[in-house]
Structure 1
Protein backbone atom coordinates (compact mmCIF):
# COMPACT_ATOMS: atom_id res chain seq x y z
CA UNK A 1 0.00 0.00 0.00
CA UNK A 2 1.19 3.50 -0.78
CA UNK A 3 -0.09 7.02 -0.21
CA UNK A 4 0.21 9.91 -2.61
CA UNK A 5 -1.38 13.15 -3.69
CA UNK A 6 -4.18 12.35 -6.10
CA UNK A 7 -4.06 13.34 -9.74
CA UNK A 8 -6.96 13.73 -12.15
CA UNK A 9 -6.64 10.07 -13.22
CA UNK A 10 -7.65 9.07 -9.68
CA UNK A 11 -10.78 11.21 -9.78
CA UNK A 12 -13.31 8.58 -10.97
CA UNK A 13 -12.21 6.21 -8.20
CA UNK A 14 -12.41 9.00 -5.61
CA UNK A 15 -15.96 9.87 -6.67
CA UNK A 16 -16.86 6.17 -6.59
CA UNK A 17 -15.68 6.01 -2.98
CA UNK A 18 -17.54 9.19 -2.03
CA UNK A 19 -20.77 7.76 -3.45
CA UNK A 20 -20.35 4.30 -1.92
CA UNK A 21 -22.23 4.65 1.33
CA UNK A 22 -25.71 5.49 2.59
CA UNK A 23 -25.10 9.23 2.88
CA UNK A 24 -22.82 9.62 -0.13
CA UNK A 25 -25.31 7.87 -2.39
CA UNK A 26 -27.76 10.71 -1.76
CA UNK A 27 -25.36 13.56 -2.56
CA UNK A 28 -22.80 12.27 -5.07
CA UNK A 29 -23.12 11.24 -8.72
CA UNK A 30 -20.76 8.49 -9.78
CA UNK A 31 -21.40 8.05 -13.48
CA UNK A 32 -19.46 7.88 -16.73
CA UNK A 33 -18.49 10.38 -17.82
CA UNK A 34 -18.07 12.14 -14.49
CA UNK A 35 -20.12 15.30 -14.06
CA UNK A 36 -18.02 18.34 -14.99
CA UNK A 37 -18.50 19.74 -11.47
CA UNK A 38 -16.07 17.12 -10.09
CA UNK A 39 -13.45 17.89 -12.72
CA UNK A 40 -13.74 21.64 -12.09
CA UNK A 41 -13.56 21.16 -8.31
CA UNK A 42 -10.49 18.94 -8.61
CA UNK A 43 -8.75 21.55 -10.77
CA UNK A 44 -9.42 24.20 -8.10
CA UNK A 45 -8.03 21.93 -5.38
CA UNK A 46 -4.86 21.33 -7.41
CA UNK A 47 -4.38 25.08 -7.92
CA UNK A 48 -4.76 26.00 -4.26
CA UNK A 49 -1.60 25.82 -2.17
CA UNK A 50 -2.11 23.65 0.89
CA UNK A 51 -5.12 21.77 -0.46
CA UNK A 52 -4.89 18.21 -1.71
CA UNK A 53 -6.63 14.88 -1.89
CA UNK A 54 -4.54 12.01 -0.63
CA UNK A 55 -5.22 8.54 -1.93
CA UNK A 56 -4.35 5.14 -0.55
CA UNK A 57 -3.34 2.79 -3.34
CA UNK A 58 -3.11 -0.99 -3.42
CA UNK A 59 -1.50 -2.19 -6.66
CA UNK A 60 -2.29 1.24 -8.17
CA UNK A 61 -5.99 0.87 -7.30
CA UNK A 62 -7.53 3.64 -5.17
CA UNK A 63 -8.79 2.03 -1.96
CA UNK A 64 -9.08 5.13 0.22
CA UNK A 65 -9.03 8.90 0.12
CA UNK A 66 -9.27 12.05 2.16
CA UNK A 67 -8.95 15.76 1.51
CA UNK A 68 -6.31 17.59 3.53
CA UNK A 69 -6.46 21.38 3.62
CA UNK A 70 -3.92 23.54 5.45
CA UNK A 71 -5.45 26.67 7.01
CA UNK A 72 -3.22 29.43 8.39
CA UNK A 73 -4.94 31.23 11.25
CA UNK A 74 -4.71 34.06 13.73
CA UNK A 75 -6.49 32.34 16.63
CA UNK A 76 -4.50 30.30 19.13
CA UNK A 77 -1.44 32.48 18.67
CA UNK A 78 -1.41 32.06 14.91
CA UNK A 79 -1.82 28.30 14.89
CA UNK A 80 -1.97 26.69 11.48
CA UNK A 81 -4.52 23.92 11.39
CA UNK A 82 -5.33 21.10 9.02
CA UNK A 83 -8.86 20.27 7.98
CA UNK A 84 -9.67 16.70 6.95
CA UNK A 85 -12.76 16.01 4.87
CA UNK A 86 -14.15 13.48 2.42
CA UNK A 87 -12.72 10.43 4.18
CA UNK A 88 -13.64 7.17 2.51
CA UNK A 89 -12.25 3.64 2.50
CA UNK A 90 -13.33 1.06 -0.06
CA UNK A 91 -15.87 -1.26 1.57
CA UNK A 92 -13.68 -4.30 0.80
CA UNK A 93 -10.82 -2.76 2.84
CA UNK A 94 -12.68 -1.43 5.90
CA UNK A 95 -11.39 -2.90 9.12
CA UNK A 96 -8.01 -3.81 7.60
CA UNK A 97 -6.00 -0.83 8.89
CA UNK A 98 -6.10 1.17 5.65
CA UNK A 99 -8.02 4.03 7.28
CA UNK A 100 -5.67 4.27 10.23
CA UNK A 101 -2.61 4.19 7.96
CA UNK A 102 -4.11 6.87 5.72
CA UNK A 103 -4.80 9.06 8.75
CA UNK A 104 -1.29 8.54 10.15
CA UNK A 105 0.07 9.64 6.78
CA UNK A 106 -2.16 12.74 6.74
CA UNK A 107 -1.24 13.58 10.35
CA UNK A 108 2.45 13.38 9.48
CA UNK A 109 1.90 15.58 6.41
CA UNK A 110 0.07 18.16 8.54
CA UNK A 111 2.86 18.11 11.11
CA UNK A 112 5.46 18.58 8.37
CA UNK A 113 3.51 21.64 7.14
CA UNK A 114 3.66 23.22 10.59
CA UNK A 115 0.12 22.50 11.74
CA UNK A 116 -0.59 22.68 15.45
CA UNK A 117 -3.93 20.87 15.22
CA UNK A 118 -6.12 18.84 12.93
CA UNK A 119 -9.87 19.27 12.79
CA UNK A 120 -12.60 17.41 11.00
CA UNK A 121 -16.35 17.21 10.90
CA UNK A 122 -18.32 14.01 10.63
CA UNK A 123 -22.02 13.46 10.13
CA UNK A 124 -23.80 12.64 13.38
CA UNK A 125 -25.19 9.49 11.73
CA UNK A 126 -21.69 8.03 11.20
CA UNK A 127 -21.31 6.32 14.59
CA UNK A 128 -18.60 3.92 13.34
CA UNK A 129 -16.60 6.88 12.05
CA UNK A 130 -16.92 8.62 15.43
CA UNK A 131 -15.43 5.58 17.19
CA UNK A 132 -12.66 5.40 14.59
CA UNK A 133 -11.70 9.08 15.03
CA UNK A 134 -11.80 8.81 18.82
CA UNK A 135 -9.54 5.76 18.67
CA UNK A 136 -7.04 7.90 16.72
CA UNK A 137 -7.10 10.54 19.48
CA UNK A 138 -9.64 13.01 18.09
CA UNK A 139 -11.90 14.57 20.71
CA UNK A 140 -15.46 15.74 20.06
CA UNK A 141 -14.72 19.10 21.69
CA UNK A 142 -16.94 21.35 19.55
CA UNK A 143 -20.29 21.25 17.79
CA UNK A 144 -20.05 21.98 14.09
CA UNK A 145 -22.66 23.81 12.09
CA UNK A 146 -23.18 24.22 8.37
CA UNK A 147 -25.17 26.59 6.22
CA UNK A 148 -25.86 25.26 2.73
CA UNK A 149 -25.78 27.99 0.10
CA UNK A 150 -27.54 27.62 -3.22
CA UNK A 151 -25.31 27.71 -6.27
Structure 2
Protein backbone atom coordinates (compact mmCIF):
# COMPACT_ATOMS: atom_id res chain seq x y z
CA UNK A 1 0.00 0.00 0.00
CA UNK A 2 1.51 3.32 -1.06
CA UNK A 3 0.84 6.26 1.18
CA UNK A 4 1.48 9.89 0.51
CA UNK A 5 2.23 12.75 2.82
CA UNK A 6 4.75 13.79 5.36
CA UNK A 7 5.68 11.91 8.50
CA UNK A 8 4.73 13.60 11.77
CA UNK A 9 7.61 14.42 14.12
CA UNK A 10 5.85 12.56 16.93
CA UNK A 11 5.84 9.41 14.77
CA UNK A 12 9.64 9.08 14.75
CA UNK A 13 11.34 8.98 18.14
CA UNK A 14 14.95 8.32 19.10
CA UNK A 15 16.10 6.13 21.96
CA UNK A 16 19.35 4.59 23.13
CA UNK A 17 19.45 0.80 23.11
CA UNK A 18 20.29 0.91 26.82
CA UNK A 19 17.00 2.59 27.75
CA UNK A 20 14.06 0.43 28.75
CA UNK A 21 11.55 -0.31 25.97
CA UNK A 22 8.07 1.15 26.48
CA UNK A 23 4.72 0.55 24.79
CA UNK A 24 4.77 4.18 23.61
CA UNK A 25 7.87 3.39 21.48
CA UNK A 26 5.71 1.81 18.79
CA UNK A 27 7.80 -0.34 16.45
CA UNK A 28 11.41 -0.39 17.63
CA UNK A 29 13.94 -0.22 14.78
CA UNK A 30 17.63 -0.81 15.45
CA UNK A 31 19.59 1.43 13.07
CA UNK A 32 23.15 0.36 13.94
CA UNK A 33 25.22 -2.09 11.89
CA UNK A 34 26.44 -3.84 15.06
CA UNK A 35 24.32 -5.19 17.89
CA UNK A 36 24.64 -2.93 20.99
CA UNK A 37 27.28 -4.25 23.36
CA UNK A 38 25.89 -5.82 26.53
CA UNK A 39 22.23 -5.72 25.44
CA UNK A 40 20.34 -9.01 25.34
CA UNK A 41 18.05 -9.43 22.35
CA UNK A 42 15.12 -10.28 24.59
CA UNK A 43 15.63 -7.09 26.62
CA UNK A 44 15.98 -4.84 23.56
CA UNK A 45 12.52 -5.66 22.15
CA UNK A 46 13.67 -4.80 18.62
CA UNK A 47 11.01 -5.28 15.94
CA UNK A 48 13.25 -4.52 12.94
CA UNK A 49 17.01 -4.32 12.44
CA UNK A 50 17.87 -2.24 9.36
CA UNK A 51 21.60 -2.90 8.97
CA UNK A 52 21.39 -1.75 5.34
CA UNK A 53 20.55 1.78 6.51
CA UNK A 54 23.37 1.94 9.04
CA UNK A 55 26.51 3.88 8.13
CA UNK A 56 29.14 1.78 6.37
CA UNK A 57 31.95 0.43 8.51
CA UNK A 58 34.35 2.83 6.78
CA UNK A 59 32.17 5.86 7.46
CA UNK A 60 31.51 4.81 11.06
CA UNK A 61 35.24 4.40 11.72
CA UNK A 62 36.09 7.70 10.02
CA UNK A 63 33.47 9.61 12.04
CA UNK A 64 34.40 7.98 15.38
CA UNK A 65 31.69 10.17 17.01
CA UNK A 66 33.90 13.24 16.61
CA UNK A 67 31.56 16.29 16.70
CA UNK A 68 34.02 18.25 14.53
CA UNK A 69 33.27 15.77 11.71
CA UNK A 70 29.49 15.93 12.19
CA UNK A 71 28.51 18.00 9.14
CA UNK A 72 30.65 15.93 6.79
CA UNK A 73 29.32 12.72 8.39
CA UNK A 74 25.75 13.88 7.80
CA UNK A 75 26.49 14.57 4.14
CA UNK A 76 28.26 11.25 3.53
CA UNK A 77 25.68 9.24 5.45
CA UNK A 78 22.80 10.81 3.50
CA UNK A 79 24.56 9.74 0.28
CA UNK A 80 24.88 6.19 1.60
CA UNK A 81 21.19 6.10 2.47
CA UNK A 82 20.32 7.25 -1.06
CA UNK A 83 22.09 4.13 -2.33
CA UNK A 84 19.65 2.04 -0.24
CA UNK A 85 16.47 3.71 -1.40
CA UNK A 86 14.24 0.61 -1.13
CA UNK A 87 15.09 0.05 2.52
CA UNK A 88 14.63 3.76 3.26
CA UNK A 89 11.21 3.72 1.56
CA UNK A 90 10.15 0.66 3.59
CA UNK A 91 11.11 2.47 6.78
CA UNK A 92 9.15 5.53 5.62
CA UNK A 93 6.11 3.35 4.93
CA UNK A 94 6.33 2.01 8.46
CA UNK A 95 6.62 5.52 9.96
CA UNK A 96 3.68 6.76 7.90
CA UNK A 97 1.47 3.98 9.29
CA UNK A 98 2.43 4.04 12.96
CA UNK A 99 4.90 5.44 15.49
CA UNK A 100 8.45 4.10 15.35
CA UNK A 101 11.48 4.52 17.56
CA UNK A 102 14.93 4.53 15.98
CA UNK A 103 17.14 2.67 18.43
CA UNK A 104 20.90 3.32 18.55
CA UNK A 105 23.83 2.52 20.84
CA UNK A 106 25.91 5.72 20.65
CA UNK A 107 26.52 7.67 23.86
CA UNK A 108 26.24 11.01 22.09
CA UNK A 109 22.53 11.69 21.73
CA UNK A 110 22.94 14.56 19.25
CA UNK A 111 25.72 13.32 16.94
CA UNK A 112 24.75 9.84 15.75
CA UNK A 113 23.32 8.07 12.73
CA UNK A 114 19.78 7.82 14.16
CA UNK A 115 19.59 11.64 14.32
CA UNK A 116 20.46 11.90 10.62
CA UNK A 117 18.08 9.12 9.63
CA UNK A 118 15.24 10.79 11.56
CA UNK A 119 15.97 14.13 9.86
CA UNK A 120 15.82 12.47 6.45
CA UNK A 121 12.59 10.63 7.25
CA UNK A 122 10.90 13.81 8.43
CA UNK A 123 12.18 15.99 5.59
CA UNK A 124 11.40 13.72 2.68
CA UNK A 125 7.95 13.86 1.12
CA UNK A 126 6.74 10.61 -0.38
CA UNK A 127 6.23 10.70 -4.13
CA UNK A 128 3.37 8.22 -4.47
CA UNK A 129 2.50 8.68 -8.19
CA UNK A 130 6.00 7.93 -9.49
CA UNK A 131 6.35 4.97 -7.12
CA UNK A 132 3.09 3.49 -8.40
CA UNK A 133 4.28 3.78 -12.02
CA UNK A 134 7.50 1.97 -11.11
CA UNK A 135 5.53 -0.77 -9.43
CA UNK A 136 3.27 -1.30 -12.47
CA UNK A 137 6.28 -1.67 -14.74
CA UNK A 138 7.79 -4.34 -12.52
CA UNK A 139 4.69 -6.55 -12.42
TM-score normalised over the length of structure 1: 0.28
1 or 2, which has the higher helix percentage?
2
TM-score normalised over the length of structure 2: 0.29
The structure showing larger relative contact order (alpha-carbon pairs under 8 Å, at least 6 residues apart) is 2
1 or 2, which has the higher strand percentage?
1
